[in-house]
Amino acid sequence: MNKQIAVYPGSFDPITYGHLDIIERGLEVFDQIIIAVARNSEKKSLFSTAERIGHIEEAVDNNPRVIVDTFDGLLVDYVASKGAKVILRGLRAVSDFEYEFQTAQMNHNLKSEIETVFLITSVPYGYLSSSIVKEVASLQGSVESLVPPVIKKALEKKFGKT
């Protein structure tokens, strides 16, 4: 039987417990998850692509069913090149919906054999985002319950100890 591979794309700047929850739950559904860090993101990132990859690898503890990679260009082309048929995304509040709806429809339009699958955020992470984590850390707030230890350490390096 073919392995079911899902590509989980994003900025992961930095990875949070919200992302890790989606990965963990995704592994209950798919055989393998490729975490694809977007390289051509228009967003200005706090961490470099190499730093983000290192953080993710440490956070997923080198799980053999999880691969960490980068991509640029069209996501659907990248997904097809990996032999995958699924894009995995997490959905939080209604505010995520508009963007995800538009992107999923466009991706389907570009390559109809690739489906986007959404997992709804777990309750504790509904309002957790990489941006809010960066904001809290920059204001010296505690991020301990929001991100894995590797990110806590990296944020302390950038912003000072919280």
Catalytic residue numbers, as ranges: 19, 43, 92, 130
Q: Does 23 bind ligand ADP (CB under 6 A)?
A: no
Q: Does 10 bind ligand ADP (CB under 6 A)?
A: yes
Considering only residues 121, 137, 143, 152, which one is a binding residue for ligand ADP as defined by CB under 6 A? 121
Are 119 and 25 in contact by the 8 Å Cβ rule? The answer is: yes
Tokens of 151: 């990110």
Instruction: Report the C-alpha dihedral over residues 97, 26, 34, 126, rounded to 10 degrees.
Output: 40
Q: Does 11 bind ligand ADP (CB under 6 A)?
A: yes
Q: Does 130 bind ligand ADP (CB under 6 A)?
A: yes
Sheet holding 66-71, edge to edge: 66-71, 32-38, 5-10, 86-91, 115-120
Closest of 132, 136, 133, 137 to residue 158, by C-alpha = 137
Whole-angstrom distance, CA of residue 46 vs CA of residue 6: 26
Q: Does 128 bind ligand ADP (CB under 6 A)?
A: yes
CB of 85 to ligand ADP, least distance (A): 17
CB of 144 to ligand ADP, least distance (A): 16
Tell me the per-residue interface mask from 89 to 108 with ligand ADP, x by CB under 6 A, - otherwise. Answer: xx-x---x------------
Chain centre to alpha carbon of residue 18: 9
Residue 144 or residue 160: which is nearer to ligand ADP going by CB? 144
CB of 32 to ligand ADP, least distance (A): 18
| Contact range with ligand ADP by CB under 6 A, out of 45-53, 62-70, 109-117, 127-135 | 127-135
Closest of 48, 108, 27 to residue 75, by C-alpha = 108
Whole-angstrom distance, CA of residue 94 vs CA of residue 78: 28
- Contact residues for ligand ADP (CB under 6 A)? 10-12, 16, 18-19, 22, 89-90, 92, 96, 121, 125, 128-130
